[in-house]
Amino acid sequence: MLGTHDLPPLNLQALPPEAAAWVARWQHAEQQLALREQALVDRDRELDQARDLLQRKDRDIAWRDAKIEKITFELARLKRWKFGASSEAMNTEQRRLFEETIAEDEASLRAQLEQLRREAAETTVDAKPKAAPRRPRRQQLPEHLRRVEHRHEPESTNCPASNCGRPMTRIGEDMSERLDIVPAEFFVHRHIYGKWACRCCQILKQAPSNPELIEGGMAASGLIAHTLISRCVDHLPYYRQEAINARSGVHTPRSTLAAWAGQAGAALEPLYEVHKAFVLACRVLHADETPVALLDPGAGKTRKAYVWAYARSWHDPVPGVVYEFCRGRGAQYPKAFLAGDVRRGRGRWSGTLLTDRYTGYDSVLDPRIHADRISAACVAHARRKFEELTRTGTSPIGDEAIRRYARIYAVEAELKGMSDGERMSQRQQLAKPLWAKLKQWLELERRLVAGGSSVAGAIDYTLGHWSALTHYLDDGAVAIDNNHLERQIKPWAMGRRAWLFAGSELAGQRTAMVMSLVQSARLNGHDPWAYLRDVLARLPTQRSSQIEDLLPHRWQAASEAAP
């Protein structure tokens, strides 16, 4: 059917009055119909947008409910373990660490649960405000400790009433004390909040209190950082920290220390996730794993768990390392870690992965599935195969191989400080001929040794992984070996000897988060305690959009540490 826009223009004045009126009504009706159609299109678009918004909110609510359910389940399981008879199967050392871990895990889970409930309350209309939790009574801080006073007064002490403006009278003050520490000395922050009142207007004015990581607690950020550093870096169990603090006349039960660490771990988790994204933004990664004993409370014994470590390339100008505590050594763990997280806006990782050729990485680097990932192998691992031959002193092949590898490493030592392009060019010119001669020599020697011997195994390892071992020649950003990451794993090896085992999976994950941040701070030249103290002090007021400012490679101290 033709509309008025399809007809030739009409001269309404030339038509009879009745015809002109009929045409005008027709044109008006068609205009109204077009407006209604456009309104329907706009309404459909708004409905689609509202539907998408509701679906996103439903997904967020479902995720939050699932998280709350999981945390509630974990808390119930902790309670069963805490009061269950199975703990009788543990020895004294196991029971002591188990009790500390239970307290730490419970504090961490309760902090996460409280945060999720606050988020749910913010999105719920007409939500009733929750009553403030009852604060437990605690011992007074020792009087002999040095006090550092911080006075807080309002910016203006004039009455804020519009019809007054007179100077207010100071009528008193509120005081709170928080225990802090510098190495080898405890001291107390005394916060004094002046109270000002206008007697004629009956108005009270006072400076707002400083937000703290643990509201209502006695621990300042420096003491919490010291507790975490002592636990995760110096590997001191809480019962030993309790005894050390007691020598200064400060009573800090190990359950309290564990609760502080648990709440701090929950607060550091968002920063850990951002740090993980930063490390995975590098196109060249080191990867390795190390075993850690994990306590099984139900059986009263330990089982083997693993810490997986990933670091930015040794040649990357901005270093960083991240750890993940996992229950096993299967390929599913690096697969999941490198798969990204859509919810957090982190895509799947691609680039060159430098490993020790453990078979668990094979499916992670399968070119049929991950064409954008390249495998590089650790030359130090290949060299160690020959070093093992030389320990008996009867392997001329091992001695010659070590000499040839030494010449390759001598070339690499001369390339420090170069750009990736310059390094690759020099490797092609200086190191590539050495590799060609090494391969020719190894192939010749392989024909002369019996299969199944240790010499044949060492040669087969190098020749079998030749492409991955020599990939560094074609990419100046790739390191020659994985020694950089092995150095970052050493703190875990030291910890194994000190605390023997992880008390729970949650404790292992929490330690991995803290270790990721403080070890990366070390790599960037920061003192771990100073970094962690400042971060914990700033976290309560740091905007989510600015949390990247607290990353180890971007951190700058907001203030000088207390004397």
The reported pLDDT for the residue numbered 59 is 75
Q: How far is residue 228's CA from residue 214's CA, in Å, rounded to a whole number? A: 14
Q: What is the dihedral of CA 17, 21, 24, 25, to 10 degrees?
A: -170
* Coil, strand or helix at 372: coil
Q: Tell me: do 458 and 496 sit in the same domain.
A: no
The reported pLDDT for the residue numbered 40 is 79
The reported pLDDT for the residue numbered 111 is 80
Q: Tell me: do 445 and 505 sit in the same domain.
A: no
CATH code, domain with 366? 3.30.420.10
**Inter-axis angle of helices 92-122 and 238-246, nearest 10:** 90
The ranges of the chain with pLDDT < 70 are 1-15, 18-20, 23, 73, 77-100, 102, 122-138, 297-300, 392-394, 497-501, 558-563
Of 480, 511, 537, which closes a domain? Answer: 480
pTM of the model: 0.76
Q: How far is residue 36's CA from residue 38's CA, in Å, rounded to a whole number? A: 5
The reported pLDDT for the residue numbered 251 is 92
Answer for the pair 496, 292: CB distance below 8 angstroms, yes or no: yes
Q: Tell me: do 339 and 317 sit in the same domain.
A: yes
The beta strands (E) that lie in 121-220 are given as 146-152, 169-182, 185-198, 203-206
In a domain, 250, yes or no: no
In a domain, 207, yes or no: no
In the block, tokens 């691992």 appear at 381
Amino acid at 248: S
* Coil, strand or helix at 216: coil
- How many domains, in total, are found in the chain? 2
Q: What is the pLDDT of residues 178-215, one digit of tens each?
A: 899 877 789 999 999 999 999 899 899 999 988 888 88
In a domain, 161, yes or no: no
The reported pLDDT for the residue numbered 78 is 65
Extract the tokens encoding 78. Answer: 């902790």
The reported pLDDT for the residue numbered 503 is 75
Domain of residue 396 covers 379-480
The closest alpha carbon to 338, from 315, 291, 370, 379, belongs to 370
Q: Tell me: do 488 and 341 sit in the same domain.
A: yes
CA-to-CA dists, residue 536 to 104, 229, 514, 524, angstroms: 17, 12, 12, 18
In a domain, 452, yes or no: yes
CA 451 to chain centre: 47
What does DSSP say about strands 203-206 and 284-296: parallel, antiparallel, or unpaired? unpaired
Q: Tell me: do 414 and 489 sit in the same domain.
A: no
Q: Tell me: do 372 and 472 sit in the same domain.
A: no
Of 459, 480, 501, which closes a domain? Answer: 480
In a domain, 527, yes or no: yes
Q: How far is residue 557's CA from residue 538's CA, in Å, rounded to a whole number? A: 10
In a domain, 105, yes or no: no
- The residue count of the chain comes to 563
In a domain, 132, yes or no: no
In a domain, 297, yes or no: yes
For 527-549, b/e burial (b = at least 16 CB within 10 A) is ebbbbbbbbbbbbeebeeeebbe
Extract the tokens encoding 81. Answer: 């373990």
Q: How far is residue 411's CA from residue 416's CA, in Å, rounded to a whole number? A: 10
Q: Which helix (H) or strand (E) holds 40?
A: helix 17-83
Q: Tell me: do 460 and 491 sit in the same domain.
A: no
The closest alpha carbon to 289, from 112, 452, 86, 493, belongs to 493
Which are the contacts of 7, defined by CB distance < 8 A and separation ≥ 6? Answer: none
Of 480, 499, 522, which closes a domain? Answer: 480
The reported pLDDT for the residue numbered 94 is 60
Q: How far is residue 277's CA from residue 112's CA, in Å, rounded to a whole number? A: 21
Q: Tell me: do 325 and 413 sit in the same domain.
A: no
The reported pLDDT for the residue numbered 210 is 86
**524 DSSP 8-state letter:** T
**219 DSSP 8-state letter:** B
Q: Tell me: do 513 and 369 sit in the same domain.
A: yes
Q: Tell me: do 421 and 447 sit in the same domain.
A: yes
Q: Tell me: do 416 and 472 sit in the same domain.
A: yes
**27 DSSP 8-state letter:** H
The reported pLDDT for the residue numbered 102 is 67
Q: Tell me: do 374 and 401 sit in the same domain.
A: no
Answer for the pair 293, 501: CB distance below 8 angstroms, yes or no: yes
